[in-house]
Amino acid sequence: MLSQYLYISTAPTLPCEEVEAILAASARNNTARGITGLLLFNGRNFLQLLEGEADEVAGLMETITADPRHAGVSVLDRRMIEVRTCPDWAMKRVMIAESIANRRDMLERDLPEGLDREVRKMIVNFAVLN
């Protein structure tokens, strides 16, 4: 059974290098664990979509929740899925455009096609904020 989590968290003073380190660890570990997904960081908050075998995703959520580099992990959505929406992304960094005017267009281009409409809306809402 595949499960998918969408959560947000807070990391107001995290240096950029730490985001790079998180992505490097993700690339390493996620491939081995069959986890795929995407990560957005707006300088203060993370939003992450994780998908994979239910046990693997639940275990990773525990690890991530305990990670002291962020706080306030809040799950926005959790569902069982039949097909991965990000099959090719061990952990894709989705960039948030500087210009607010470009954000929606950029996301529409970068977010995967198979995302549920509600999930897509939550991601876009997060990214256009601030």
Among 3, 26, 36, 45, which residue interacts with ligand FMN (rule: CB under 6 A)?
26
Range in contact with ligand FMN (rule: CB under 6 A) among 26-34, 78-86, 94-102, 117-125: 26-34
Cα–Cα separations (whole angstroms), residue 25 to 7, 29, 64, 123, 124:
18, 6, 12, 23, 25
Cα–Cα separations (whole angstroms), residue 128 to 32, 75, 81, 113, 120:
33, 19, 26, 19, 12
Judged by beta carbon, residue 9 or residue 107, the one nearer ligand FMN is: 9
Among 6, 57, 61, 64, which residue interacts with ligand FMN (rule: CB under 6 A)?
64
User: Burial of 4 by CB count in 10 Å (0-12 exposed, 13-18 middle, 19+ buried)?
Assistant: buried
In this structure, the chain runs to a length of: 130
Query: Residue 59 Cβ, how far from ligand FMN at the closest point, in Å?
Result: 10
Query: Residue 1 Cβ, how far from ligand FMN at the closest point, in Å?
Result: 19
Among 3, 6, 46, 127, which residue interacts with ligand FMN (rule: CB under 6 A)?
46
List residues near ligand FMN by CB under 6 A: 9, 22, 25-26, 28-30, 46, 48, 60, 63-64, 67, 69-70, 91
